[in-house]
Amino acid sequence: MSVITTERQGDIFVITSNNPPVNALGAAVRQGLDAAMDELAGDESLKAAVIRCEGRTFFAGADITEFGKAPVGPDLRQVIDKIEASDKPVVAAIHGTALGGGCEVALGCHYRIAIPSAVIGTPEVKLGLLPGAGGTQRIPRLAGVALALQMNAIGDPIPAAKAKEAGLIDRLATEGQLAEDAIAFAREIAYARPLPRASEKQAKPDPQAIEDFKAKNARRFKGFDAPAANIACVEAATRLPFEEGMAFERQEFMKLMMGVQSAAQRHIFFAERKAAKIDDVPEDTKLREIRKVGVIGAGTMGGGISMNFLSAGIPVTIVEMQQDALDRGTGVMRKNYEGSAAKGRIKPEAVEKAMGLLTPTLSLDDLADCDLIIEAVYENMEVKKELFGKLDAIAKPGAILASNTSYLNIDEIASATSRPGDVVGMHFFSPANVMKLLEVVRGAKTAKDVLATVMAIGKRIKKVPVVSGVCPGFIGNRMLSQRQQAANAMLMQGATPQQIDKVHTDFGMPMGPFQMSDLAGVDIGWHRDESRIESIRDALCAEGRWGQKKQAGFYDYDENRRPSPSPRVAEIIEEFRAKSGNDKRDTSDEEIVERTLYPMVNEGAKILAEGMAQRASDIDVVWIYGYGWPVYRGGPMFWANTEGLAKIVAGLEKHGYEVAPLLKEKAEKGERFA
């Protein structure tokens, strides 16, 4: 069956797309729309047309899988031009998500009608692109510069009601009655002339709005190419005639499309979706039902984990050992919610709604009715095994028992229960209510339906779940530890924490290794014996330099947590270097990259070869969503491809690293990580 079908409702021509799952505007859809417009023009008896979609959404954009391949005509701009040039009115009937090219098709129509639940937007910037089929030229002409900047350069879609207020949509339809309402609308305006065409409108210059927008978002846009290009196109719309604006948009679009940033961002779009799939777990695996969740530990982690479920409307029972710790933990959760409400991120009533779903308790026995129990207690194998032994006796049959451990062996934890198939790792990243990554650790005996359920619940609480095998530190922290070791070693040759950190922040990371230590706590995992000083870290800890929380770590901090280089830390580092007998020498930024980032790629290759990650792109997703690797560099394995695997191997060898066989083999064969 053709993806575009047409039917006549009296003198109204109804053009319907049916291209699951999201009605992407692939070649067949474009060809069908093009032919339908010819038919409309050629048939005297037709007076107006409606363009609508079957399935879950109006066109969600150009077909991203076609990018980088040989173009097949007609291109989307030609189709949209033809729609707009029609001398019979065309109405777009919008439901679901009219995104990117889909939004642009709608704006090329003379009229737009949408149901209230629909959203409309141009998220291309999130793929390192700009709306390249007129979106940057038609939105400012219809809705003004300020909204066009917001929609194009930030990329978040807006609800139908807001779009109507702004002039992007003409009418709201009744939910469930879109086709009928759109046909009635088309009949109403069938003879109205002149036809409203976005391209014929004028966009008012607003240099102040552009300046304000740039200033407000400078931090958010740092390192990215696409936002500036989007802004330049919107500005051009206020200055150039439509045709010239379109030419400028085209030129900027092609520049972005050929660039490495967009390739990286498109890679992550698909990588994130692929990560949700587990090779040997069928997609139709029957899931266990999760109606109630138990969380053990009301500290920072346990509280953050609980908030994810509460925000998704899932009741949580939270357990602590002492009343004061329990009160403190739930108090922090409430404060976090109230903070979000004060900043307008959630509705005021959402605070009580979430907190009302929370049951604090001091008794593990209260977890008996939970479908999923997540342990977030002290990182100690004996403690965890004892706890899982108790849970085995308390939890109902079929309950999933999860550990939030960040490096301990899940199989050993599972061995403390009589039901290892129900045991799994759910490794959240701090702050757990904010960070999007969820490492789902698959034990040797973890049941397939347990895995599938945890992946699904991860998505429900708006995380990006990635499966990892059992190995120390799993995917993320295992690679992180390579970076930290190398960074520590470079201090011993005279590099400073600030120099090493700056290379990482210039690369686009939110922070470098020592800034991260200070934030997480320099004392994490410290032996707590002040007389035993075997490393720079031990020396810092012994002096109470535990990081930001003590206003002193690798950096000194003022009362607003602003860092400055620490003379005392410089002394400590110098003492250790002198004792080690290492010579002091200059360290170039290039060496820092080679010695901190290349070893991460090397470890990634080992993780892949051992089957600890299913695919290289899963590793990229871990680093983007768990550690803030810049998305425009596509994650460490994608970045390694762009850097060149042979160059990475040479760099590792130069610094005396043992190169992972998989990395070496790929470099020798001239291959890339898939």
Q: Interface residues with ligand 3HC (CB under 6 A)?
A: 21-22, 24, 60-65, 76, 97, 99-101, 104, 123-124, 127, 129, 131-133, 135, 270, 273
Whichever of 119 and 169 has its CB closer to ligand 3HC, that residue is 119
Whichever of 150 and 602 has its CB closer to ligand 3HC, that residue is 150
125/437 Cα distance (integer angstroms): 22
Whichever of 251 and 564 has its CB closer to ligand 3HC, that residue is 251
**What's the CA dihedral at 91, 97, 100, 106 to 10 degrees?**
10
Which pair of structure tokens corresponds to residue 317? 């029972």
Q: Phi and psi at residue 282, in whole multiples of 5°?
A: -60, 145
Which pair of structure tokens corresponds to residue 571? 């002394």
Largest distance between two CA atoms of the chain: 94
Whichever of 104 and 392 has its CB closer to ligand 3HC, that residue is 104
Whichever of 76 and 301 has its CB closer to ligand 3HC, that residue is 76
CB of 267 to ligand 3HC, least distance (A): 12
Active-site residue 124, yes or no?
yes
Cross-strand pairs, 97:
119
Active-site residue 379, yes or no?
no
* Reduced 3-state DSSP string for 194-243: CCCCHHHCCCCCCHHHHHHHHHHHHHHHCCCCHHHHHHHHHHHHCCCCHH
Whether the upstream peptide bond of residue 599 has omega within 30° of 0, thus cis, is no
The full length of the chain comes to 674
Distances from the Cα of 194 to the Cα of 85, 110, 189, 459, angstroms: 12, 10, 11, 48
Dihedral of alpha carbons 604, 609, 611, 614, sign: positive
Find where tokens 């026995």 sit: 365
Whichever of 252 and 320 has its CB closer to ligand 3HC, that residue is 252
556/283 Cα distance (integer angstroms): 51
638/264 Cα distance (integer angstroms): 7
CB of 197 to ligand 3HC, least distance (A): 19
Whichever of 130 and 622 has its CB closer to ligand 3HC, that residue is 130
Pairing status of strand 464-468 against strand 437-441: parallel
Within 471-564, where are the H helices? Answer: 476-491, 497-507, 513-520, 536-542
Contacts of 529 by beta carbon, 8 Å cutoff, 6+ apart: none
Whichever of 50 and 103 has its CB closer to ligand 3HC, that residue is 103
CB of 369 to ligand 3HC, least distance (A): 31
**393 neighbors 351 (Cβ within 8 angstroms):** no
Q: Is 4 strand, coil or helix?
A: strand
Whichever of 273 and 345 has its CB closer to ligand 3HC, that residue is 273
Whichever of 65 and 208 has its CB closer to ligand 3HC, that residue is 65
Whichever of 133 and 667 has its CB closer to ligand 3HC, that residue is 133
CB of 17 to ligand 3HC, least distance (A): 13
> Choosing from 54, 66, 84, 124, which is the catalytic residue?
124
Instruction: From 468, 482, 450, select the one nearest 409 (Cα to Cα).
Output: 468
651/664 Cα distance (integer angstroms): 12
469/568 Cα distance (integer angstroms): 41
Instruction: From 57, 95, 58, select the one nearest 173 (Cα to Cα).
Output: 95
Whichever of 169 and 464 has its CB closer to ligand 3HC, that residue is 464
CB of 530 to ligand 3HC, least distance (A): 52
> Choosing from 104, 249, 252, 603, which is the catalytic residue?
104
CB of 566 to ligand 3HC, least distance (A): 45
Which pair of structure tokens corresponds to residue 498? 């600030």
Burial 395-413 (b: 16+ CB within 10 A, else e): beeebbbbbbbbebbbeeb
CB of 29 to ligand 3HC, least distance (A): 11
* Reduced 3-state DSSP string for 360-391: EECCHHHHCCCCEEEECCCCCHHHHHHHHHHH
Pairing status of strand 293-296 against strand 316-319: parallel
171/603 Cα distance (integer angstroms): 55
Which pair of structure tokens corresponds to residue 240? 């150039």
CB of 153 to ligand 3HC, least distance (A): 14
CB of 121 to ligand 3HC, least distance (A): 9
565/553 Cα distance (integer angstroms): 10
Stated as kind and residue range, the H or E segment containing 336 is helix 323-342
Contacts of 515 by beta carbon, 8 Å cutoff, 6+ apart: 501, 505, 554, 555, 563
List active site positions: 104, 124
